[in-house]
Amino acid sequence: MTDDLHPNAEELQEELRELLDRDPEMGPSILAVELPDRPRGLLSTADREYLVGQREYEHPQSEANRKQDIRERIANAFQDFSILVSYLSEDEREKVFNDIGEDQYQDPLASIISFLYLGLDGDLGKLEKIIEDGIYTGANISKIGQWSGEIADVDTSINVERRPDRSEIIEKFEKGDTDQLTPAEIGILVRSGQLDADDLKELEDTSMPLPYLFENLLQSEEADIIDDPRE
Domain-wise residue ranges, the chain:
31-87, 100-161, 166-219
**Looking at residue 210, what DSSP letter applies?**
P
Residue 125 has pLDDT above 90, yes or no: yes
Closest by CA to 194, choosing from 163, 225, 227, 219, is 225
Rounded to an integer, what distance in angstroms lies between the CA atom of residue 156 and that of residue 164? 26
CA distances from 51 to 43, 55, 93 (A): 10, 8, 29
Per the prediction, the chain carries an average pLDDT of 75
Q: Which of 80-89, 184-193, 215-224 has the lowest mean pLDDT?
A: 215-224
**Which residues, listed in sequence order, are joined to residue 224 by a DSSP beta bridge?**
none
The DSSP call for residue 147 is B
* pLDDT for position 103: 81
pLDDT of residue 168: 75
- Per-residue burial over 167-202, b = 16 or more CB atoms within 10 Å of its CB, e = otherwise: eebeebbeeeebeebeeebbbbbbbbeebebeebee
pLDDT value of position 67 = 96
Confidence of residue 184 (pLDDT cuts 50, 70, 90): confident
Phi then psi dihedrals of residue 84, to 5 deg: -60, -40
Note if the pTM is more than 0.85: no
CA dist., res. 62 & res. 68, Å (int) = 10
Better pLDDT: 48 or 181:
48
Give the pLDDT band of residue 135 (cuts 50, 70, 90): very high
- The residue type found at 92 is E
Question: How far is 54 from 46, CA to CA, in rounded Å?
Answer: 9
The sign of the CA dihedral 85, 87, 90, 96 is negative
Least confident of 38-42, 82-86, 99-103: 99-103
